[in-house]
Amino acid sequence: MLLKFYRVVYFLKFWVRLALRIFCPKVNIANPHYLNSEGPLLIVANHPNSFLDAVIIGAFYQRKIHFLARGDVFQNPIFGYLLRSIGMIPVFRAREGKEHLHRNSHTFQESVDIMKDGGAVLIFIEGICLNTHDIQPFKKGASRILETLHALGIFPHVHVIGIAYNSFRGIGKSVNIDISEIASIKPIIESSDRLFFNALAMEEMSKNIHLPLEKTFVSHGFAYYFHLPYYRLIEYGVDLKFKHTVFFDSVLFAALLFTYPIYLALWISLLVTMGIPMFIASILIFLMPILGQKSIKLA
């Protein structure tokens, strides 16, 4: 059962990477050797584009990444279970109800336990998502986790990531990811040490955020018109609820990720009913994602 679960997780990661080639056709990664790191790892990153930040970072690291996410999205038991199954850990803020704040002690302990076992945890250290590349004041969650680990004699690698987009809305993005490592961190024992760590991390992050210069252009060929009605329908549905929120891109990506195979399957069925052999219909339709990707240009 556990083996089947991990197969599902790895297939989902593979499918996400394929989808990102269309949604974000250009991802520039500075210092990609950090993606192959081993052992206990704490990743701190800025948070300009909701869950898409975690999706992109998690897709490129060559290991499982657990990440802290806002606790209110876990309120639905089924949805919460699914989120946990892909490595998300709930963290609660005062705006989501002060009665939930005590649960953060379990969140931080869970993060500590993951790194004690050699795992990796991603935390968005600003504690808030805004569609901006301006760095927000850092919260104390990352330093608290490190303080607990240091008390146990565990000193994880600490990666600082700056992630930047040429657009916060829609398909065809260029993304810059710059990764660096805080080489040596003195043990965090008291509040002044936590402040020192945050200052060090902010200095690194400010050097790692580089906005992409490319602009997105879409050529209006056959693949464009093949995808246009489907894309506009999904975009319209997402727009109805998430148009003016930081979640637009993330929800749009998720909606396209899970409905696109259905759209392709419907086209295959249509071609088969028109008398085209299944094999030929499948080849024709499965060429569409490749042509769709090539129709998106960045310059």
Question: pLDDT by residue (tens digit) across 142-177?
Answer: 999 999 999 999 999 999 999 999 999 988 899 999
Residue 164 pairs in a beta bridge with: 176
Q: Kindly report the pTM of this predicted structure.
A: 0.89
Looking at domain 2-208, does it have CATH number 3.40.630.190?
no
User: What is residue 1's predicted lDDT score, i.e. its pLDDT?
Assistant: 47
User: pLDDT (tens digit, 0 to 9) for every residue of the chain, 299 residues total?
Assistant: 445 555 666 677 788 888 888 899 889 999 999 999 999 999 999 999 999 999 999 999 999 899 988 766 677 777 667 677 777 888 876 565 555 556 667 888 999 999 999 999 999 999 899 999 999 999 999 999 999 999 999 999 999 999 999 999 988 899 999 999 998 788 999 999 999 999 999 999 999 999 998 777 777 788 889 999 999 999 999 999 998 899 999 999 999 999 999 999 999 999 999 999 999 999 989 898 888 877 776 65
Q: Where are the domains of the chain?
A: 2-208, 216-298
Residues 132 and 246 sit within 8 Å (Cβ to Cβ):
no
Q: What DSSP line would sit under 69-124, residue for residue?
A: EEGGGG-SHHHHHHHHHTTEEEE--GGG-GGGGGGHHHHHHHHHHHHHTT-EEEEE
HEC letters along 140-165: CHHHHHHHHHHHCCCCCEEEEEEEEE
User: What is residue 11's predicted lDDT score, i.e. its pLDDT?
Assistant: 72
